[in-house]
Chains A and B, each alone.
Chain A
Amino acid sequence: MKKIKYSIGLIILFFFAGINMSHAQKAKKEKDNYTVMVDGLGCPFCAYGLEKKFKELKGVKGVQIDMETGQFDFTFPAESPLTVEEVENQVDAAGYTAVSTTIIRADGTVLKSEEKIKTLDESALVTEEVYVFGNCGMCKARIHKAGNSMESVASVDWNMDTKMLKVTYDSSKTTIGEIEEKMAAVGHDTKNEKTASDVYEALPGCCKYEREN
């Protein structure tokens, strides 16, 4: 009788242990899905480089990069979730520009990068053009992101060939000088504002335009 009770006990123990293990294994296997729209993935070397830098985060799997659209997808274990900010910082660290990020957690929760709502005085909108130094698609992405991050800027469009930045801004809140300062702060000289040497040196190789003395 004791043997029977002992056996039943063991069976119950294994049953619950089995349930717990399957829960643990499931948790381990669950993955969050990440989609980042990246600007500046001009060449395959850039794209594979971004992938390589992300794979330094142990657990990154299922990487897919569409160079035409700049869409970068990957999965990461749900047990150690990355934030939108961490993902975008990793993109920045690899030398690229994250335009937007969407995370779909394993439990279905969706997180997105913040979209700022700008309040602009339309009667004060002014459009000007200013020369901004740069080379490539990655430069364009950086210049556009910097311009669009300014609350008083309505739109920006940098021409890679002419180097002219067409910018529409609320003149009651900012000036073209401040916009030039912003460009210089992210690594792009203008005729009136110069980038700090360390910021210029940190630009990816393809973005290192020839500087004027």
Chain B
Amino acid sequence: MNRIYLFLALACLFVACQPAGPSWTFDKSIDIKGIAPIGIVAEGDHFWISDGDNKRLLKVTMDGKIVVEEKDFERPMHIAADGGKVFIPSFGDDNIIEYKDGNRIIVPMKDSLDAPAGVDVQGKEMAIADFYNHRILYSNGTDWLNIGKEGNGDLEFYYPTDVQMVGDKIYVADAYNNRIQIIDKKGGHVKNMGREEKMNAATGIYVDNEDIYITDYEHDRVLVYNNKGELTAEINENLAKPTDLIVYQDQLFIINYKSQSISVFKK
């Protein structure tokens, strides 16, 4: 009898130790051969995907068909979409490009960037991951705030690659510190998470109301955390060098640089 109790106790302990987050089940893989995807956003019934190797911005249907091809971007990275426009961090020539209906405008900056790797735009606000300057730039539409410096402490970054603004916070894929760092829009530090999982290049980030998703490029996985910084799920099925992800229409879309595909998961 004691053995049964012991077994039950161990079973409960095992279950309790399992990540208790959103349970995503692999649904399908969308083939996007010929595209080396770095960033993805969704708008209406299509995706916008940046194709870093081929220097393109692509409008792609939900089944992977290219319907718009815009060439000659200088290594477009983690893009953002807002108000019918797409914003492209141009890693190779240090610009943020605003794109709409075939027209391109360079977003004026007061400070010079060195390889912008990620951008998020919401109305007048903009946040930028400034890769080689190891910092985050934030604008409220009027003023620019320069946040962080090179390093691995709080408010220090090491090659940040992606950003997302949620409320008064900015979530950063602090790529080569192998962690997520959360800061506020006044330049204060909020929280770090993910170091325990020993990621190797935390490249792409997505945040919804409850969960924080990060791609772990070298380990072919996506990690999911709650707002407390607790790991709630690890997704490693059918991924090959994931670079970015989004949750859209109750599905999780993860782009794979190596296999040139989009892995789709359902709850």
Separation of A44 and B260 alpha carbons in the complex (Å): 13
Residues from chain B with Cβ under 8 Å of A48 in the complex: 52, 75, 91-92, 115
Task: Give every chain B residue within 8 A of A206 (Cβ-Cβ).
Answer: 176, 200-201, 218
Interface string of B144-158 (1 = CB under 8 A from A): 000000000000001
Q: Which residues of A contact B91 (CB under 8 A)?
A: 48, 52
By a CB distance below 8 angstroms, the chain A residues around B263 are: none
Nearest to A160 among chain B residues (CB) is B218
Main secondary structure of the interface of A (DSSP, over half): helix
Given A52-B92, A205-B176, A44-B52 contact (CB < 8 Å): yes
Q: Is A45 an interface residue (CB 8 A)?
A: yes
Cβ-neighbour of B203 out of A45, A136, A204, A208 (below 8 A): A45
User: Which residues of chain A are within 8 angstroms of B175 by Cβ–Cβ distance?
Assistant: 45, 205
> Does B243 interact with chain A (Cβ within 8 Å)?
yes
A51 within 8 A of B: yes
The answer to the question of A159 belonging to the interface, with a C-beta cut-off of 8 Å to chain B, is: no
Partner of B218, one of A51, A55, A136: A136
Distance of A43 Cα from B257 Cα, bound (Å): 9
Q: Which residues of A contact B200 (CB under 8 A)?
A: 135-136, 206
Does B241 sit within 8 A of A, measured CB to CB?
A: yes
Pair A49/B115 contact, Cβ less than 8 Å: yes
Q: Say yes or no: A204 contacts B176, CB within 8 Å.
A: yes
- Check B159–A45 contact: CB distance below 8 A: yes
CB-contact partner of B241 in A43, A49, A135, A205, under 8 A: A43
Judge whether B92 and A205 touch: CB under 8 Å.
no
Asked if B117 and A44 make an inter-chain contact with CB atoms under 8 angstroms apart, the answer reads: no
Within residues 54 to 98 of chain B, which ones have a CB less than 8 A from any CB in chain A?
A: 75, 91-92
* Alpha-carbon separation in the docked complex, A45 to B174 (Å): 13
Are B218 and A43 in contact, with the CB atoms below 8 A? yes
User: What residues of B have a CB within 8 angstroms of the CB of A44 in the complex?
Assistant: 36, 38, 52-53, 243, 257
A42 at the interface (CB under 8 A from B): yes
Taking the nearest CB of chain A, how far is it from the CB of B264, in angstroms? 22
User: Which chain B residues lie closer than 8 Å to A208 at the CB level?
Assistant: 176
How many chain B residues have a CB neighbour from A under 8 Å?
A: 25
Within 8 Å by CB of A43, from B92, B177, B201, lies B201
Is B257 touching A51 in the complex (CB atoms < 8 A)?
A: no
B181 close to A (CB within 8 Å): no
CB-defined contacts of A43 to chain B, threshold 8 Å = 201, 203, 217-218, 241, 257
Minimal Cβ-Cβ distance residue in A for B176: A205
B52 touching A51, Cβ below 8 Å: no
Instruction: Let me know if B164 is at the binding interface, CB within 8 A.
Output: no
Q: Nearest residue in B to A208 (C-beta to C-beta)? A: B176
- Which residues of chain A are within 8 angstroms of B38 by Cβ–Cβ distance? 44
Q: Give every chain A residue within 8 A of B259 (Cβ-Cβ).
A: none
**Among B38, B117, B159, B177: residue with most chain A CB under 10 A:** B159
**CB proximity of A131 to chain B, nearest CB, Å:** 17
Q: Are A52 and B115 in contact (CB under 8 A)?
A: yes
A window 135-160: CB within 8 A of B: 135-136
Q: Which residue of A lies closest to B38 (CB)?
A: A44
- Across-interface contacts of A45 in B (CB, < 8 A): 117, 131, 159, 161, 175, 201, 203
Write the A38-58 contact mask toward B (1 if CB under 8 angstroms, else 0). 000011110011011001000
Residues of A within 8 A of B176 (CB): 204-206, 208
Q: Which residue of A lies closest to B157 (CB)?
A: A205
Complex CA gap A51/B243 in Å reads 19
CA distance A196 to B229 in the complex (A): 34
B131: chain A residues at CB < 8 Å are: 45, 49
Q: Which residues of A contact B158 (CB under 8 A)?
A: 205
A–B pairs, 22, beta carbons within 8 Å: A42-B201, A43-B241, A44-B36, A44-B53, A45-B117, A45-B131, A45-B159, A45-B161, A48-B91, A48-B92, A48-B115, A49-B115, A49-B131, A51-B75, A52-B91, A52-B115, A135-B200, A204-B176, A205-B159, A205-B176, A206-B176, A208-B176
Give the 9 A-B CB pairs with smallest separation, nearest first. Answer: A205-B176, A205-B158, A48-B75, A44-B52, A205-B159, A48-B91, A206-B176, A43-B217, A43-B201
